[in-house]
Amino acid sequence: MKRLLFLFIVFLSFRAAAQDSAWIRDHYYKVEKYIPMRDGVELFTSMYIPKDTNEAHPILMTRTPYSCAPYGEDKWRNWWGTYKRIYFKEGYIMVTQDVRGRWMSYGQFEDVRPFNANKKTNKDIDEASDTYDAIDWMVKNIPHNNGKVGVFGISYPGFYSTMAAASNHPALKAVSPQAPVTNWFLGDDFHHNGAFFQMDGFAFYSAFGKPRPKPTTEWPTGFDYYTHDNYKFYLETGALKNLAALLHDSVAFWKGLYAHPNYDAWWKARDARNATKNLQPAMLWVGGLFDAEDCWGAWNAYKAAEQNNPGKAFNKIVDGPWYHGQWASSDGTHLGNVYFGSNTAEWFQQNMEIPFFNYFLKGEGDISQIAEANIFITGKNEWKKFGQWPPAEKADKNLYLQPNGKLSWARPTAIKSFSEYISDPAHPVPYAQEVHFNRTRTYMTDDQRFASRRPDVLAFQTDTLADDVTVTGNVIADILTAISTTDADFVVKIIDVFPDKLGYDNIDIYAEMDAEKKYPMGGYEMLVRGDVFRGRFRKSYERPEPFVPGKIERVKFELPSIAHCFRKGHRIMVQIQSSWFPLVDRNPQRFVDIYTCSDKDFQKADIKIYHDAANSSSVILPVLK
């Protein structure tokens, strides 16, 4: 019966989409144009324009490196597959544009093209100037527009949204960068704290990075893997220079990435936060608490915009319990085995994004419900509104590692105490339990019991909590360590340990059809936040330093914000390990250039984590009062 109900719901969804498709074609027409930029380069632009000429319409634009497809004025984009079809019913002019050098646009593409704040001639271009020129053309040439423009985009288009905001065209009134690519060395996509996220990087650039010498509508092909076991592939491929050889020196950004192993001027120029000064449009930053790709960007771009625009009237953030882009889907009810008690995506669409654009582009509705920070608290499964982020009501509290795998708010009292493990690059700790090919998005909430059972993973946990503990803000890992080699990575994970007798409470619709697929949530070790730090950068990202073998040193770093309630009856766990494979490349644990070193440079390391009175390792949690 439940299966029939599910299939009926799917049928109704498809029928509704077909009806929307017919309505849009009846009420809109499509125009494709090449819009000239100030330096003469033309960018391909696809516009869906209302047939209604009785009123003026706002323009809502996305600039993308992922194509305006389908191409042809008789071929229509699948806008109506998501809630964005509402913007058609609202009468928006919907625009997509291939950015410079991608797909059907002319010019030279550059990854995360640096923002140029000092443009002097028409030859000085960046993504902000391209956006300015596109908007200027549209408001002058699209019939019956109301002179107001909004820009939004997710991920890489989120980066272009940040750059759009920096254009400060007078017609640009509202911008929503969503999971915006912001800094590819410190926290987004391809590096976290200097550690290379090789699996995402290689999967992406082996197709995306291929040269495109002239405009095209053809999708590039990716790399032909010899196995669909990603752990096996990356382990057998070996050192990063072997991975680079598979691309045959053809990908420009990959070569640049390898040539800049430290946080130098090349990387700093590509930090999108450089474009967050003097922002004129209203800003709505959007991110996902469990975004496996660009979790860092939304938090930190918002923070930079706050600092760089004191007193700005509208600079807000929304962060929900989402994987990458889940807020734009039809289902925000769960991620993996963890459920959120409601359709959080639909709530965002109806209460945040659509009212935001309607207010600033149409002068309709009310935005008083959009607070400074609109954050979903997992665990409690409720939206909370805060006057700032992190909340003023939070207090940073040290949760100390203790002997015998304990975790406590009290500083340890032992004279000399440590836990240790052997980190072996030949047998790295997997980031997920199952054998698979594509990087999963559910690993951000996955059960960590498989890792707890490994000898090269340390696990510390509190006693059963007598009261709820709500954590809102950035977690700081403050680790006192001594290693036997000259370099190592440190992966720190914050975990919610469910009660053992919870049973089968959290199941998805498919599991309801088959009782054997129910996941045992009793004792579930839910990953709330995990991140990696490359130890050589413990004092400076610009000037890395080797460890002195055997010397106790501090490794202190910030993890992206979390918003989670550890419920009464649960436990808080901290896991520490030195590999997270193949998500993150393996540190050879020798102070060498990791991008050019050989397989012979990889060696085992003895890692000691101290928890005594003199060397008290801890995680610092922002506990809501």
Q: Evaluate whether residue 17 is within a structural domain.
A: no
Burial of 487 (0-12, 13-18, 19+ CB in 10 A): buried
pLDDT of residue 438: 95
- 155: domain CATH number is 3.40.50.1820
Does 508 have pLDDT greater than 80?
no
Comparing CA positions, the residue from 290, 296, 294, 334 lying closest to residue 200 is: 294
Q: Evaluate whether residue 212 is within a structural domain.
A: yes
Do residues 47 and 160 both lie within one domain? yes
Do residues 217 and 292 both lie within one domain? no
Do residues 431 and 546 both lie within one domain? yes
Q: Evaluate whether residue 524 is within a structural domain.
A: yes
Do residues 260 and 280 both lie within one domain? no
pLDDT in tens, 533-566: 999 999 999 999 999 999 999 999 999 999 999 9
For residues 66 and 157, the answer to whether their CB atoms sit within 8 Å is: yes
Q: How far apart are CA 179 and CA 286, in angstroms?
A: 6
pLDDT of residue 308: 97
Q: How far apart are CA 34 and CA 115, in angstroms?
A: 23
Do residues 607 and 514 both lie within one domain? yes
Q: How far apart are CA 253 and CA 131, in angstroms?
A: 23
Q: How far apart are CA 481 and CA 462, in angstroms?
A: 21
pLDDT of residue 182: 98
Q: How far apart are CA 209 and CA 145, in angstroms?
A: 36
Q: Evaluate whether residue 104 is within a structural domain.
A: yes
Q: How far apart are CA 431 and CA 534, in angstroms?
A: 16
Q: Evaluate whether residue 4 is within a structural domain.
A: no
Provide the token pair at 405: 């795998």
Q: Which domain holds residue 593?
A: 394-624
- 404: domain CATH number is 2.60.120.260
Does 1 have pLDDT greater than 50?
no
Band of residue 15 on the pLDDT scale cut at 50, 70, 90: low
- 230: domain CATH number is 1.10.3020.10
Average pLDDT over residues 310-315: 92
Q: Of 205-219, 470-484, 508-522, give the lowest mean pLDDT range.
A: 508-522
Do residues 453 and 372 both lie within one domain? no
Beta-carbon contacts of residue 64 (< 8 Å; ≥ 6 apart) = 96, 97, 98, 99, 102, 153, 156, 157, 160
Provide the token pair at 332: 């925000």
pLDDT of residue 30: 97
Final residue before a domain boundary, out of 223, 245, 267: 267
Q: Evaluate whether residue 308 is within a structural domain.
A: yes
Q: DSSP secondary structure string, 269-304?
A: HT-GGGG-SS--SEEEEEEETT-TTTHHHHHHHHHH
pLDDT of residue 516: 46
Q: DSSP secondary structure string, 185-224?
A: TTTSTTEETTEE-HHHHHHHHHHHTS---S---PPPP---
Q: Phi and psi (nearest 5°) for 540?
A: -165, 135
Do residues 413 and 497 both lie within one domain? yes
Q: How far apart are CA 593 and CA 75, in angstroms?
A: 49
Do residues 543 and 589 both lie within one domain? yes
The structure's pTM equals 0.95
Final residue before a domain boundary, out of 386, 409, 438: 386
Q: How far apart are CA 423 and CA 483, in angstroms?
A: 10
Do residues 282 and 235 both lie within one domain? no
pLDDT in tens, 23-48: 999 999 999 999 999 999 999 999 99
Do residues 367 and 489 both lie within one domain? no
For residues 105 and 99, the answer to whether their CB atoms sit within 8 Å is: yes
Do residues 143 and 207 both lie within one domain? no
Domain count, the chain: 3
Question: Position 510: which residue type?
Answer: Y
Mean pLDDT (the chain) is 94
Q: Phi and psi (nearest 5°) for 478?
A: -125, 95
Beta-carbon contacts of residue 104 (< 8 Å; ≥ 6 apart) = 44, 67, 68, 71, 98, 215, 216, 217
Final residue before a domain boundary, out of 249, 267, 285: 267
The number of angstroms, rounded, from the C-alpha of 621 to the middle of its chain's C-alpha atoms is 21
pLDDT in tens, 246-274: 998 889 999 999 999 999 999 999 999 99
pLDDT of residue 336: 95
Does 501 have pLDDT greater than 90?
no
Q: Evaluate whether residue 16 is within a structural domain.
A: no
Q: How far apart are CA 583 and CA 566, in angstroms?
A: 27
Band of residue 4 on the pLDDT scale cut at 50, 70, 90: very low
Do residues 361 and 404 both lie within one domain? no
Q: Evaluate whether residue 10 is within a structural domain.
A: no
Beta-carbon contacts of residue 289 (< 8 Å; ≥ 6 apart) = 295, 319, 320, 321, 322, 376, 378, 561, 562, 563, 564
